Amino acid sequence: QWQDDTLHRYNSMGVWQETFTIPTVSATRNIAWDGTNYYLANNSTTIYEVDPTTKMVTGTISAPAAVRAMCYDPTLDGGNGGFWTNFWGTAGSEPLIAISRTGATLATIPFADHGMSFAYGLAYDATSIGGPYLWGFDQSGSGAVIKQFNIASGMSTPVSRDVNADF
């Protein structure tokens, strides 16, 4: 539940499974998954690692900038995994920042390359031909455009979708 303490879990068919809270974490804005644990961001420089069974914080990562959008990328840090992050801040200035599991900056994609003024969600894609790619949800322009980015170049590809048209 956006910017709230409450989380809802659904199965792959969209059927509600449970509602819960994570003690000590509030105002969750983004969730990432590494195949074992959840990582929650709440618009601060702290990323919370959460055990999905106990629903308790098991660790934290100090990011170099506030995190509002985030996704897990298993290829970062020499295959140790890490996170692509972004803060929805001043339009036209926010880079995408790749960080390790310890919070060290690994790479940046400047705004001039990715072009998302108000990135609010990120996803890692290792299955599309020609990838891997990042996908970003951009709230600039029409307010709801999903864009694909080549990780190696940082540049957007011609693949995008204005999801407002779906409504």
Task: Give the mean model confidence (pLDDT) for residues 112-133.
Answer: 86
**pLDDT over threshold 90, residue 113:** no
Q: Which pLDDT does position 90 carry in this prediction?
A: 61
Tell me what the mean pLDDT of segment 91-100 comes to. Answer: 83
Mean pLDDT of 121-128: 94
Contacts by residues 96-105 (CB-CB < 8 Å, ≥ 24 positions apart): 96/122, 96/134, 96/136, 96/149, 96/154, 97/63, 97/64, 97/65, 98/73, 99/61, 99/63, 99/64, 100/76, 101/61, 101/77, 102/61, 103/47, 103/61, 103/62, 103/63, 103/64, 105/64
Average pLDDT, the chain: 89
Task: State the pLDDT confidence band at 17, using cuts at 50, 70 and 90.
Answer: very high
User: What is the pLDDT averaged over residues 71-88?
Assistant: 94
Q: What's the pLDDT band for 92 if we cut at 50, 70, 90?
A: low
